[in-house]
Structure 1
Amino acid sequence: MRRELTPGDLLDGHGRLAQPGWARSEVRRYDRSAVAANRLRIKEWDYYCVLTPDHGLALTVADNGYMGLLGVSWLDFAARTETTENVMTPFPLGRLRLPASADTGDVRAEHRGLLLEYRHTAAGRILTVDHPRFGNGRGLRGELVLAQPAMDRMVIATPFPDAPKAFYYNQKINCLPASGEITVGEDTVRFEPDSAFGVFDWGRGVWTYDNTWYWGSASGVVDGKPFGFNIGHGFGDTSAATENIVFSGGVGHKLDEVTFHLPAGTYDGADWTFTSNDRRFEMTFTPILDRAATTDLKILASVQHQVFGRYSGHVVLDDGSRVEIHDLLGFAEQVRNKW
């Protein structure tokens, strides 16, 4: 399990990560004003991905210092198609006012006719999207409510070698039952909480320039219980903790190292496999579609492959019990950014 975080401030008086490690809840306090790096290097984002058996919606609000981004992705698994549209803004430098906590503070961002809003209520989290120009004018709009019962999450505080002002503070909240409707053009898709589940990716930090990371996530119901996992690796010094964890019935079961084995020469034309050094996570991932995006501005570049598909295999919980997984919907990705 390596090092578990204790309560306190995320950064010390010099703007350095006070304690690397992982936790099951938000125990470390993030304060943007305590960051010692140049404001152009600060990266903050709130990303939601909500999947049903047939469709998916992903929403992004990101403040990357020199560039802000509002993103909407609509996924059609039956047709094996996806549409992603991003609106970028220059030099937000904190003006998006993304919250210092994953549990409080609302987000409202609007630019070039695209509105994204995330609100906290007693019912959970409410996601609102209105993008009239989406899909060559088809339009995409709607509202989803994500319930959040009491449950563990993945929290990790990661330093970067030889970069004392760099850090990554990340939370992943899986297994969020979703209800509501999204309308794309003339078609309305209903999200039902027994079959639609979301994951919330909350990130704050200062990264080094060139990084490649791997991330996998899935949420659903297995053996009558909410079940999901977060796996990943690739950047920063993870000697204090990894972000690998399984959730069963709201309880987190920490894993050590998980290795992604990607098929050669393709992202969605063959199965991926996953193995763990403790043999507690052994999985095959069968792709449905690849949400691929490439940007190359020489100094700034991004190559993204977020592949959606189904996981099958098994995990071993902390008590030694084995859980068999069959066709659990989720995603796995490889992303390289120079930013």
Structure 2
Amino acid sequence: MTTFEREITEPVDLCLPDGTLNQAAVGWSRVPLHRANLRGWGRTKRWEYWCVTTPTHLVALTVSDLDFLALNTVYLLEYAPGGLELERTAIIPAGRGVHLPDTVAGAPGSPDVVTGPARPTGGKVRVEIRDEPGGTRLRARCLTQERLPLEVDLLVARPPGHESLSVVVPWDSRRFQYTSKQTALPASGRVRIGSEFLEFDGDDTWAVLDHGRGRWPRTVDWNWGAASGRTDGHTVGLQFGGRWTLGSGSTENGLCVDGRLSKIGEELAWRWSPADPLAPWTIRTPLTGQVDLTFTPFHNRRARTEAGLIANRTDQCFGHYDGRVRTDDGKEIAVDRLLGWAEDVHMRW
């Protein structure tokens, strides 16, 4: 299936005054231009998800407001066999104290996001997303299950002219999602666990943002894949989605090569084994051949939740992409062990 989406080049409100989708907002842009002026309660979902990777570690921060509750999470993974895997999630009834802006948190001109106590105890989590002259500052604190303090302090740079993929996915006038996916952003900093430090510095430290604002159906399934790094003499960011966009007329698929976005207006063919998520995946564009990749996982972040209004099944696999992609100007790029993830999610919320 090929889509015919228009490129948006001027700022636009996501919603009309009555809270329904503004049809003028439907399309995609190379920089975030939408203001998510959402109205209504119960089906509105807002989140900021950042993942910063190095060749040996990754750390992910989530701040989400699902109307009836908020989830703030810190996740750390060390890839080595027997390496660290730490996760702490704070569940906040009614989302009290979690306020996400209408625009990308931590971007110039957008309000800062600060949630959780300054000195969290028990299962509480502190997350800060702030704009700084050098980029977006990410900070987080929590106590691990072993009662060790975990602290994150990272700076994500904003290279001049760097393009990303922002797109509106419309199911109907009352159910729609605005997402801004930003890949291949240089990052630096460190993470402290107790008295030990993990360095997130060097040429192979990359950040990816998933910014989401929308009004969702009760049940949804999706695939999401992303990766960042250097390959074949280029800096490459991969951004792929699947299933949840089918029939909407929009896709969230794109390539960021040396800071320039190639929007892919085609639904991808995802092939993987739900029974064995650590088996290789394939992700291809069946019509144009613009994407032909194999993803080989080395770790599955598996989550299963049944908690009242929420039921979640997530297999988020981390691994490497290999194969080839083609930019919209026809340049073929060999992808060799590009670090990233691919996930299979079922959500009832």
Q: 1:240 aligns with which of 242, 249, 263?
A: 249
Aligned residue number for residue 44 of structure 2: 42
Q: Does 1:318 align with 2:328?
A: yes
1:64-114 CA-to-partner distances (Å, cap 9, x unmatched) read 000111101111111265222211000127x42211111222110115532
Q: Tell me the equivalent position of 2:338.
A: 328
- Cα distance in 1 for residues equivalent to 2:94 and 2:167: 27
**Which residue of structure 1 aligns with residue 133 of structure 2?**
122
Partner residue of 1:22? 28
Corresponding residue number in structure 1 for 2:303: 293
**Secondary structure in structure 2 of the residue aligned to 1:295:** strand
Counterpart of 1:110? 116
For residues 4-19 of structure 1, the aligned pairs below 5 Å read: 4-6=6-8, 7=10, 8-19=12-23
Change (3 A) 1:120 1:243: same
Matched, 1:187 2:209: no
Taking a change above 3 Å as real, the CA distance of residues 238 and 29 of structure 1, as seen in their structure-2 partners, is: farther
Q: Look up the equivalent residue of 1:17 and give its one-letter code.
A: L
AA aligned opposite 1:97 = H
> What are structure 1's unaligned runs of at least 5 residues?
none
Contact kept? 2:277, 2:300, Cα under 8 Å: yes
Aligned to 1:279: 289
CA distance in 2, matches of 1:327, 1:98: 35
> Within 2, Cα distance between the matches of 1:316 and 1:197?
22
Find out whether 1:169 has 2:178 as its counterpart: yes
Report what 1:140 is aligned to: 150
Deviation at 1:238, TM superposition (A): 5.0
Aligned counterparts of 1:236 and 1:227: Cα–Cα separation in 2: 24
Cα distance, 1:2 vs. partner? 1.9
Amino acid at match of 1:171: S
Structure 2 spans left out of the alignment, 5+ residues? none
> Where do 1:37-116 residues align within 5 Å?
37=40, 39-79=41-81, 82-92=85-95, 95-102=97-104, 103=107, 104-111=110-117, 112-113=120-121, 114-116=125-127
Superposition TM-score, scaled by structure 2 size: 0.90
SS in 2 for 1:267: coil
Give the Cα separation in 2 of the matches to 1:202 and 1:234. 19
Identity between Structure 1 and Structure 2 (%): 31
Q: Deviations over 1:155-211 (max 9, x none)?
A: 1111124xx311101101111111111012332111114011010111011100010
User: Secondary structure in 2 aligned to 1:179?
Assistant: strand
- Count of residue pairs the alignment pairs up: 330
Q: Distance in 1 between matches of 2:202 and 2:235?
A: 11
RMSD between superposed Cα atoms in Å: 1.7
Instruction: Tell me if structure 2 keeps the 8 A contact 1:290–1:306.
Output: yes
Length-normalised TM-score, structure 1: 0.92
Deviation at 1:252, TM superposition (A): 0.5
CA contact (8 A) 1:116 1:130 kept: yes
SS at 1:180 equivalent: strand
CA distance in 2, matches of 1:100, 1:12: 14
Q: Per the alignment, do residues 80 and 260 of structure 1 end up closer, same or farther by CA in structure 2, a change over 3 Å counting?
A: farther
Comparing 54-63 with 17-26, which one deviates more in the overlay?
17-26
Contact 1:160 1:237 (C-alpha < 8 Å) held by counterparts: no
Structure 1 contact 219–226 (Cα < 8 Å) conserved: yes
| C-alpha contact (below 8 Å) 2:164/2:182 kept by paired residues | yes
3-state secondary structure, aligned to 1:40:
coil
